[in-house]
Homo-oligomer: A and B are copies of this chain.
Amino acid sequence: MKYCKNFYQIKANDEIFSKLKAERETAEVGYYQLPYQDLTQIKNHAKSVTKSHIVVVGIGGSSLGAKAIYEFLLLSNSYQKDLLFLETTAPLEINHCLKKIDLNDAHFVVISKSGNTIETISLFKYLDGLVKIDKSNCTIISQKNSKLTDFANANNIKSFALAENIGGRFSVFSEVGLVPLAMVGVDIENLLNGAKRVAESFFEKGDYYQPIIEKARFLVENKHRFNINAIFSYCTSLESFNKWYVQLWAESLGKININRTRQAFTPIALIGPVDQHSFLQLIIDGVRDKTVTFIKIDDLKDNTKIPNSTPDLGLDYVDGLSFDQLLNAQADATIAAVKAQKDIPYDVVTISTADEYNIAKLMFIYQLLVSAIGQFLQINTYDQPGVEHGKQILAKQLKEK
């Protein structure tokens, strides 16, 4: 009999760092290289699209990233075209989304890495029954040899080939995010600059190295005590970013590791100030099973103000304040209340302003953080074997009908 086992244990920071570098250098994981891609083709194609409505047909990793960036940027920017997302099979949502637009003035960006995502293909088929879909109003983003790419080729529809080594939840800086964002006029070069700033700093052990590696280590060392990680984002424009974070965190870190042990960090996404009237009670008085990350935006570039002279309603100290000031004061007060508890681990990310550069930095930091945690946990951060079984059951069920 022979038996040999090196049970899972937390490695030294430097060992994790070398493993992440190896992921990048062997191109085992593709997202690290995305900040350095050539944007010419994407930009040219985006320029050629003249329709007013850009409709992304895609679900999960194929829509969450672009949606997060677009909604965040709407805070301080306006675009001539609008960006919509058809992502679910709920009929009311489909009809609600399509009612908003003139289908003849819409360009559809159909995104599915595998090319056979059931929601996306069903929606595509439905759309094709409503309006003729051809090279004049469609762009396809999929893997090289998928059924969807074949369809694009057969119909002369412009397609972008997705790299095999980039999974949906790490694809926001690939064609998946950049093509639709470029079409509405987002500065995708500046997005990549933000991502590059973080990537370079991390891999050259610059200013972003310590915060990321140390946070990953803290979370892993305390994973049994704090199995829940909440982000508390001020304000609503970060709601889609929150959803992107939940997918990234949940689908990457909910895994069985090399030692056959179940691993998990459970993400919670909160929005301030609304969730001060809800979840905050649980954070303050509940069991200490959560870490909290606050995200706030310094300058909302908005001057909507509460008037100086107001009816007699009390709370005179808000008179003359801008909502921007009030929102940030609420964030600061909540942070102070959490701090005062003295035993809730928290950190604060302050974004200077709502532009491409800053949201890209935030998202790239989160991707690196998840990659680092995954290495500490000794899991495969980039696959999702747990969602396959349900898909097989569904296909079997529907075929039998």
Contact = CB atoms under 8 A, between A and B. Distances in A.
Contacts of A61: 277
Contacts of A284: 254, 386-387, 389
Counted per complex, copies of this chain come to 2
Main secondary structure of the interface of A (DSSP, over half): helix
A184 B278 CA distance: 26
A216 to B, nearest CB: 17
Nearest to A223: B287
Interface stretch (A22-30, A47-55, A206-214, A310-318): A310-318
- What class of interface size applies to chain A in its complex with B? 35 or more
A2 interface: no
Given A125-B306, A148-B313, 8 more contacts: A94-B323, A122-B318, A126-B305, A262-B288, A266-B289, A281-B385, A330-B394, A333-B394
Question: Top 10 A-B pairs ranked by shortest CB distance?
Answer: A60-B277, A254-B282, A264-B286, A284-B386, A254-B286, A90-B235, A333-B394, A337-B390, A247-B278, A285-B386
Interface of A: 59-61, 64, 74-75, 87-95, 115-116, 118-119, 121-122, 124-126, 128-129, 133, 147-148, 151, 154, 168-169, 227-228, 234-237, 243, 246-247, 250-251, 253-256, 262-264, 266, 268, 271, 273-274, 276-290, 300, 302, 304-307, 310-315, 317-319, 321-324, 326-327, 329-330, 332-334, 336-337, 340, 384-387, 389-391, 393-395, 397-399, 401
